[in-house]
Structure 1
Amino acid sequence: MPDSPPPPVFRFAPSPNGRLHLGHALSALLNAEMARAAGGRFLLRIEDIDGTRTRPEFEAGIYEDLAWLGLTWESPVRRQSEHFDAYRAALDRLSALGVVAPSYATRREIAEWAAAAAGTGESVPRDPDGAPLFPGDAAMLPADEIASRRRLGAPSALRLDLPAALARLGGAGGEALFWDETGAGPHGETGRIAADPAAWGPVVLARKEVPTSYHLSVVVDDALQGVTHVVRGRDLFAATSVHRLLQALLGLPASLYHHHRLILGDDGRKLSKSRGDTSLAALRAAGLTAAEVRAMVGL
């Protein structure tokens, strides 16, 4: 008899830079329930590449909150900070393909460029997250300044050379890239979705202070962990275009994607750790039960 296919793999991957809130509860519970319904595995991954914002107490809070919700997960838990070598190897592979380029413009210079352009009435293109679309070093730095920074070994970001990356894929411009969506995008998009990596421009793949990026580490981790189903919030729907491009360049398998609805605050914005939205720990301290939290997120 032929071997049975391996079980599907789901994962919940929070960052320990604050306490979990209702939006995280929805995502974690949905991943666990979909894994259970499919006879699959449920993994927990700690995305802690940014050591300036992550805290051990927040990681401990993740385990506490998820256990309170009644969830169990496989061990060991993958912590991204323990796997920089894997991301560095992927970055080296991309560099060997000729699709990585250094960028010496600082984040402050990019912000100042965008503000100056907007101040003159110039339209500033923006990425799907609303940040100014990076125009390249040459748009904001004199050529001799770029050469000087390169010669002096100034800190640089490593960005995806988008034209070179698309050329490696036959110049498809994203048309040959797609993903299968079982949830829905911000405008109800579902089914087979055409990827549009050009909407993001030359995304950062690594910085001197953090030798990887969210985009790079997430596709490497999903491949190494055999994740077959990526279930996450709708705010990451557009980012899937970048992930599919990196997967294609690195020869990694594509997952099945399911982007779920977001839990919104009273002001209509998605819940956020940075804005101090009510945490699961605070709800627990106020006497709410896990069952009541499930009801609050519509499960």
Structure 2
Amino acid sequence: MSQCLNPDCLHRNPDGSQFCQKCGGKLRLLERYQAQRILGQGGFGRTFLAVDDFKPSKPPCVIKQFLPQAQGTATLQKAAELFDQEARRLEELGKHPQIPELLAYFTADNRQYLVQEFIDGETLQQELDNNGVFTEKKIRSLLEDLLMVLDFVHSEKVIHRDIKPENIIRRKSDKKLVLVDFGAAKQMSRTSLSVTGTVIGSAQYCAPEQAVGKPKYTSDLYSLGVTCLHLLTQMNPFDLYDAMEVEWVWRDYLNGNPVSDSFGKILDRLVETKPKSRYQSVAEVLADLQPSSGTVP
């Protein structure tokens, strides 16, 4: 089927159609990319599974259509800037094998689009829903894999700002974890490190400093830590934090899923509410993840 991209129509047409049978709109973007179905929708736009008709194998790809729900000129302008930033970030970061490659970025029918590599696999949230809680071994493996991707992102002076189970896909072909959705990513400079910016991210995974518009590189480590706690317990992160006692109580929700003391301490340090008490870099976390060489604790 061919999916109409007109936001006011979205009619599904038979394969081979050049124009939408309902609204008459063109079904191919740039005479090349043809949407097949809607994958999802967020505050800034819609994503479609599509095919690239210019290549002999007609490989799948993802079309992101900028379609802000926000109202007001300033808000719309900010949303447009973020969409443009995502395209720029993807172009810079997509050279990493565990980040989707940007294939195209353009305007058609007065709407912005970006086309990116399709990652075939399940998100960690889908994996959790289908298979149940993650074991310590699985979480360790997740951290070792994803921290290397995060190290690359941070080396490019970018903070992802929206790390959560829905934005991590386990690729079917090689079981590697792929970090997606750089729509909230922020390019860091010396000046921006101290300037309060727009609050972006998913509330239950968001570091306290990010929640007041001052994200740091360690904010991504916090979100990754909270992601691990959610995968270990299948509980909403808000329920894993006791606001009255001002402490994480995730161990109360393990329900027989054992976590060693040493690994528990790593998780605790990842989700420290004070940025200075948290791990300051990916390298520090990876060092603690390495098995002990007989040193006295």
- RCO (CA 8 Å, sep 6+): is it higher in 1 or 2? 1
Both structures adopt the same fold (TM-score exceeding 0.5): no
| Structure holding more helix per residue | 1
TM-score of the aligned structures, taking structure 2 as reference length: 0.24
Name whichever structure is richer in strand by fraction. Answer: 2
